């Protein structure tokens, strides 16, 4: 009976006036009961009908020319504001050599007034063989400007001498828990700071003005829309939540804005002052982001066994277990949504152990807790995600990047359950895919390509790195649509193209369900629609 009612609604048996009709399309609805449609009617900002009658009319009729249409993508882990600032800063992601790294910083510095900070970066030392940069590389080309440029994973950065002096960091500076001040053979800081030690410099760089933050949001939104992202789960701070609230009437895509886990009481007080309001379908809040460890590329992800290429190093725990439990349990009791960053297998186990303790009074899955990244897992921990109702919020592009060098860090055995998409899906775990931009590009097609082929950026794994963990195009699409909606409690009206769901959709220039998987990364977004309105069209 339920399926019959859905069919009648979808085919327009209960007709209503339409504002827009999209015809001659191949629509992937995201729903297994009605997987495909050839047309779609939209009323206001919602899908009203599928397979619209040829006689139906609307003020606007679009001919999709047979192209594939899918629900709007949710990027379930993105740093939207910092991503916008990255577009405004020095670009180092694709610097392939030491010289290119230095030259780009020199060219950027030449355009700045004395005293202005140079930020941005996203450098990757693996591009030039793995040698970490040092302040001596850039001091001569930045004599009048402090420099603080982050590695692409955001877990270490490089400061020049001017920035180190401003921060008071020297050979005598004590290490901080959960962080590392990298030093040379003489005990002097090289300029590289890892994880919690980054706070020495991060707190010094001048805070952007509200106008600069708004400009960053504008740039970031347009960038994300060009990749078909219609909802972004922004991993930021309470200040960011407030910025979005002041900008809500200018949003071009939908935002689920996270504060820091340590800010749980502040966020709760704001919600109580607003009579429990958690936002609307454009902007929502109530999510809290915490950290347990660092990153693989920085040797700060926490592992049970030492790194293969660093036998005395097991990574860093950046939040003590009892502190993590206290914050998570209080957040659960306040009805807030918890998402914890964990990369290494020890970090992931620690978060699962914490959530298991919380589940004893809250119930498994009560708050749809999320582990952000969930990159490297012990085999025995994979079924625990499903048992505890924990969502695996993962970023497929990272595997195409990390797969070039990950086995140097952790060896082939631990790699078998790295980015374990197949194992997690087989265990009935909900996957929510994203990019982690600006750590990685927000190109959804590259993410789907990585999840389906598991090829690496260096082309050295044509059959896939750890190929047994490949998933299908349908499964990857679902993780970028329904999975993201579910991870934000929005699956009843987002993540599918069905009647009464939001008319957020993407038109692709090729059908990724029909072409060779290796070609998916070259597919472009032709159009992005949000709430039945055109938000982006490729030139």
Domains of the chain, earliest start first: 97-202 (3.10.310.70), 209-533 (3.20.20.140)
Q: What torsion do the CA atoms of 482, 487, 492, 494 make, to the nearest 10 degrees?
A: -50
| Pairing state between β 254-260 and 229-235 | parallel
Residue 13: per-residue pLDDT: 46
Residue 356: per-residue pLDDT: 95
Q: Which helix (H) or strand (E) holds 73?
A: strand 73-78
HSE-CB at 534 with a 13 A cutoff on CA atoms is 12
Contact between residue 232 and residue 442 where contact means Cβ atoms under 8 Å apart: no
- Stretches in the chain below the pLDDT threshold 50: 13-14
Taking CA atoms, 210 is separated from 217, 221, 267, in Å, by 11, 16, 20
Q: Which long-range contacts (CB under 8 A, 24 or more apart) does 408-414 make?
A: 408/308, 408/309, 409/296, 409/299, 409/307, 409/308, 409/309, 410/296, 410/303, 410/307, 410/308, 410/376, 411/308, 414/303, 414/305, 414/345, 414/376
Residue 213: per-residue pLDDT: 87
Cα–Cα distance between 478 and 480 in angstroms, integer? 5
Residue 318: per-residue pLDDT: 94
Contact between residue 33 and residue 26 where contact means Cβ atoms under 8 Å apart: no
Angle of helix 321-333 versus helix 264-273 axis, rounded to 10: 10
Cα–Cα distance between 282 and 55 in angstroms, integer? 33
Residue 2: per-residue pLDDT: 52
């Amino acid at each position: 009976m339920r399926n019959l009612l859905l069919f009648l609604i979808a085919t327009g048996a209960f007709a209503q006036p339409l504002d827009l009709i999209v015809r001659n399309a191949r629509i992937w609805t995201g729903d297994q009961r009605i997987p495909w449609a050839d047309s779609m009617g939209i009323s206001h900002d919602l899908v009203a009908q599928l397979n619209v009658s040829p006689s139906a009319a609307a003020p606007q009729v679009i001919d999709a020319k047979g192209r594939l249409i899918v629900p709007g993508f949710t990027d379930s882990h993105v740093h939207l504001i910092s991503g916008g600032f990255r577009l405004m800063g020095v670009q180092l992601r694709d610097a392939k050599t030491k010289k290119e790294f230095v030259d780009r910083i020199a060219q950027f510095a030449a355009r700045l007034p004395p005293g202005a900070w140079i930020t941005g970066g996203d450098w990757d030392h693996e591009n030039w063989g793995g040698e970490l940069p040092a302040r001596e590389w850039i001091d001569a080309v930045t004599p009048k400007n402090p420099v603080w440029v982050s590695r692409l994973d955001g877990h270490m950065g490089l400061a020049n001498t001017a920035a180190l002096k401003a921060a008071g960091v020297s050979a005598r500076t004590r290490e901080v828990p959960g962080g590392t001040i990298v030093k040379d053979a003489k005990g002097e800081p090289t300029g590289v700071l890892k994880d919690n030690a980054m706070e020495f410099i991060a707190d010094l760089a001048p805070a952007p003005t509200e106008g600069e933050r708004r400009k960053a949001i504008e740039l970031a939104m347009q960038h994300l829309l060009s990749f078909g992202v219609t909802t972004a789960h922004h991993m930021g701070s309470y200040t960011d939540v407030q910025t979005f609230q002041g900008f809500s009437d200018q949003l071009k895509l939908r935002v689920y804005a996270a504060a820091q886990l340590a800010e749980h009481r502040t966020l709760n007080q704001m919600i109580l002052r607003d009579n429990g309001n958690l936002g609307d379908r454009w902007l929502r809040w109530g999510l809290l982001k915490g950290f347990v460890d660092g990153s693989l590329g920085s040797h700060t992800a926490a592992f049970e066994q030492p790194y293969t290429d660093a036998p005395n190093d097991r990574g860093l725990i950046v939040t003590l277990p009892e502190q993590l439990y206290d914050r998570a349990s209080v957040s659960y009791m306040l009805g807030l949504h918890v998402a914890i960053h964990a990369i290494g297998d020890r970090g992931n186990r620690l978060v699962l152990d914490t959530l298991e303790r919380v589940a004893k009074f809250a119930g498994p899955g009560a708050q749809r807790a999320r582990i952000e990244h969930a990159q490297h897992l012990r085999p025995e921990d994979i079924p625990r995600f499903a048992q505890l109702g924990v969502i695996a919020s993962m970023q497929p592009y990272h595997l195409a990047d990390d797969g070039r060098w990950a086995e140097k860090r952790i060896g082939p055995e631990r790699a078998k359950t790295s980015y374990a998409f197949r194992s997690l899906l087989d265990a009935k775990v909900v996957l929510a895919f994203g990019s982690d931009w600006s750590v990685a590009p927000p190109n959804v097609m590259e993410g789907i390509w990585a999840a389906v082929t598991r090829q690496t950026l260096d082309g050295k794994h044509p059959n896939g790195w750890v190929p047994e963990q490949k998933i299908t195009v349908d499964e990857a699409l679902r993780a970028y649509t329904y999975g993201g909606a579910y991870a934000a409690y929005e699956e009843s009206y987002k993540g599918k193209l069905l009647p009464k769901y939001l008319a957020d959709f993407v038109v692709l220039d090729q059908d990724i369900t029909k072409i060779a998987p290796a070609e998916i990364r070259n597919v472009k977004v032709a159009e992005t629609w949000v709430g039945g309105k055109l938000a982006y069209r490729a030139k």
